[in-house]
Amino acid sequence: MADYRIVEVKTSGDLRKFIKFPLDLYRDCKQYVPALNADQKVSLTSCSTRKYCEQKMWMVLDGKKVVGRICGMINPRYNERYGTKRARFGWFDTIDDFEVAKLLIETAEKWAADMGMEDIHGPLYYNTMGKQGMLVEGFENVPPFNCLYNFPYYNNFVQRLGYEKECDWLQYKVTLPEALPEKVLKVAARLKERYDLREANVEKLKKDPKLVREFFRVYNESFATSVHNFVPYTDEEIEEEAKAFIPFLQDRLCAFLVDKDDNIVGFGVNTPTLSPAFQKAKGRLFPFGWIHFLKAMRNCEVIDLMINGAAPAWQHTGVSAVYHSILLDKVTKAGAKWGITNPQIETNSAVKVWESYETEPFMRRRCYIKKIK
CA nearest to 318, candidates 191, 185, 186, 219: 191
What number of residues does the chain have? 373
Task: Examine the domain organization and report whether 311 and 202 are in the same domain.
Answer: yes
DSSP label at residue 352: G
Please, what's the largest Cα pairwise distance for the chain?
A: 73
Domain with 21 in it: what CATH number?
Answer: 3.40.630.30
End-of-domain residue from the set 133, 168, 203: 168
pLDDT, position 1: 59
Residue 366 lies in a domain: no
139 lies in the same domain as 191: no
Q: Which of 341, 364, 346 is nearest to 149 (CA)?
A: 364
Of 102, 135, 168, which closes a domain? 168
Whether 354 is in a domain gets the answer: no
The span from the CA of 69 to the CA of 91, in Å, is: 7
161 plus 191 within the same structural domain: no
Distance CA 38, CA 204 (A): 29
> For residue 174, which phi and psi values (nearest 5 degrees)?
-110, 125
Residue 350's pLDDT is 66
Omega prior to 123 cis, within 30 of 0: yes
3-state SS, residue 268: strand
How many domains does the structure of the chain reveal?
Answer: 2
Check residue 340 and report its DSSP letter: E
5: β partners: 61
> Residue 153 has what DSSP assignment?
H
CA–CA separation, 182 vs 25, rounded Å? Answer: 49
Query: Do the domain assignments include residue 353?
Result: no
Domain check: are 156 and 36 in the same one? yes
pLDDT of residue 169: 95
Same domain assignment for residues 184 and 133: no
271 part of a folded domain: yes
Cα–Cα dist 181/188, whole Å: 11
pLDDT in tens, the chain (373 residues): 578 999 999 999 999 999 999 999 999 999 999 999 999 999 999 999 999 999 999 999 999 999 999 999 999 999 999 999 999 999 999 999 999 999 999 999 999 999 999 999 999 999 988 899 999 999 999 999 999 999 999 999 999 999 999 999 999 999 998 888 888 888 888 988 999 999 988 888 888 888 888 888 888 888 887 788 889 999 999 899 888 888 889 999 999 999 998 889 989 999 999 999 999 999 999 888 899 999 999 999 999 999 888 888 888 888 888 888 899 999 999 999 999 999 998 887 667 777 778 999 999 999 999 999 8
pLDDT of residue 248: 87
- Please check whether residue 321 lies inside any domain of the structure: yes
C-alpha distances out from residue 212 to 235, 263, 266, 307, Å: 12, 11, 13, 15
Last residue of a domain, one of 113, 135, 168: 168
In a domain, 290, yes or no: yes
CA dist 362 to 61, 69, 124, 157, 170, Å?
35, 27, 20, 23, 8
Tell me, yes or no, whether 355 lies in a domain.
no
Rounded distance between C-alpha atoms, residue 367 and residue 346, angstroms: 12
Q: Which domain holds residue 291?
A: 177-336
Q: Quick one: how far is CA 84 from the chain centroid?
A: 23
Residue 91 phi, psi dihedral angles, 5° rounding: 50, 40
